[in-house]
Amino acid sequence: MEKSQIVIRAKPSPAIDLLTEAKSLSALAGQEAECTRCPLYKNATQVVPGEGSPQARVLLIGEQPGDVEDRSGRPFVGPSGKLLDIALERAGVERDKCFVTNAVKHFKFDPRGKRRLHKKPDAGEIDACRWWLDRERALLQPGLIVALGATAIRCALGRSEAVSQLRGEIFDLDGGAQFLATVHPSSLLRLKDESDKRQAWRGFLADLSKIASWIEKDEARAAR
Ligand code: URA
């Protein structure tokens, strides 16, 4: 069977009653600001909710806010975000057509003097924050969910899968939407060797260009 014919089964989440819960993404952001579902809220400056048009058909999921995002309250505006913007543009994807969020919505870090060093969220923190991603999905009803890196994959699917197993293919999700995984842009920033960097960049653009083709087909379908 072709990889793309496989339906990915996500771990089911408890049902969401949108009649009794937040009815808009901006109301949801207000609720997220009060989040105490895991201890990360204690040291972060603020929550960083998802951002973008409520009509976006693509949901782009990162890992967690970094230092710049934590201070500004906006996702993907620091170094990884700048690289993501360039990559999206080169791949032909308008960021405005995506709702951009993170798996974990508070910055996790190790204080080192005046610096705050990014620390990977653990499975418990990702699973606790899945609550918010589930609600973003319920309100947005995206047609394509894009996971940038392993943390985003875990949050979207409710279980861990290697990026290398899934990347670059569009799969059907059992909940109805489609799913694409690729690397997190910060993995490119960490590479030292020039030829590794070039290869990783090409691979990242190839994966993101699948979003551009998906949007094109989706818009053509909607216009029919
Ligand atoms: N900034 C974000 O908002 N998310 C990431 O995953 C990395 C940087």
1 pLDDT higher than 60: no
Q: What single DSSP character describes residue 51?
A: B
pLDDT mean across residues, the chain: 96
Residue 84 C-alpha to ligand 1 middle, in angstroms?
Answer: 10
Contact assessment for residue 181 and residue 61, using Cβ atoms and an 8 Å cutoff: no
To which H or E segment does residue 118 belong? strand 115-118
Q: What digits encode the pLDDT tens for the residues 152-185?
A: 999 999 999 999 999 999 999 998 999 999 999 9
Q: What is the mean pLDDT of residues 80-91?
A: 98
Contact assessment for residue 156 and residue 102, using Cβ atoms and an 8 Å cutoff: no
Q: What is the pLDDT of residue 156?
A: 98
**Ligand 1 site, residue 185, Cβ cutoff 6 A:** no
3 pLDDT higher than 80: no
Contact assessment for residue 118 and residue 108, using Cβ atoms and an 8 Å cutoff: yes
**Ligand 1 site, residue 102, Cβ cutoff 6 A:** yes
More confident residue, 17 or 11: 11
Q: What digits encode the pLDDT tens for the residues 100-148?
A: 999 999 999 999 999 999 999 999 999 999 999 999 999 999 999 999 9
Q: What is the pLDDT of residue 5?
A: 74
Contact assessment for residue 14 and residue 127, using Cβ atoms and an 8 Å cutoff: no
DSSP letters of 122-176?
Answer: -HHHHHHHHHHHHHHHHHH--SEEEEESHHHHHHHHSS---HHHHBT--EEETTS
Spatial distance between the Cα atoms of 195 and 23, rounded to a whole number of angstroms: 48
Residue 67 C-alpha to ligand 1 middle, in angstroms?
Answer: 9
Q: What is the pLDDT of residue 140?
A: 98
Q: What is the pLDDT of residue 18?
A: 78
Task: State the pTM of this model.
Answer: 0.96
Rounded percentage of the chain residues whose pLDDT exceeds 70 = 98
In 3D space, the residue among 184, 173, 172 whose CA is nearest the CA of residue 61 turns out to be: 184
Q: What digits encode the pLDDT tens for the residues 15-72?
A: 998 788 999 999 999 999 999 999 999 999 999 999 999 999 999 999 999 999 999 9
State which of 67, 80, 101, 182 you would mutate to test the pocket of ligand 1, scoring each by most atoms of that ligand within 8 A of its C-beta: 80
Other beta carbons within 10 Å of 17: 8
Q: Kindly report the CA angle at 101 between 97 and 104, in degrees rounded to 5?
A: 170
Q: What is the pLDDT of residue 166?
A: 97
Residue 75 C-alpha to ligand 1 middle, in angstroms?
Answer: 6
**Ligand 1 site, residue 64, Cβ cutoff 6 A:** yes
**Ligand 1 site, residue 142, Cβ cutoff 6 A:** no
4 pLDDT higher than 90: no
State which of 68, 72, 102, 106 you would mutate to test the pocket of ligand 1, scoring each by most atoms of that ligand within 8 A of its C-beta: 102
Task: Map out the domains of the chain with their CATH numbers.
Answer: 23-223 (3.40.470.10)
Q: What is the pLDDT of residue 36?
A: 98
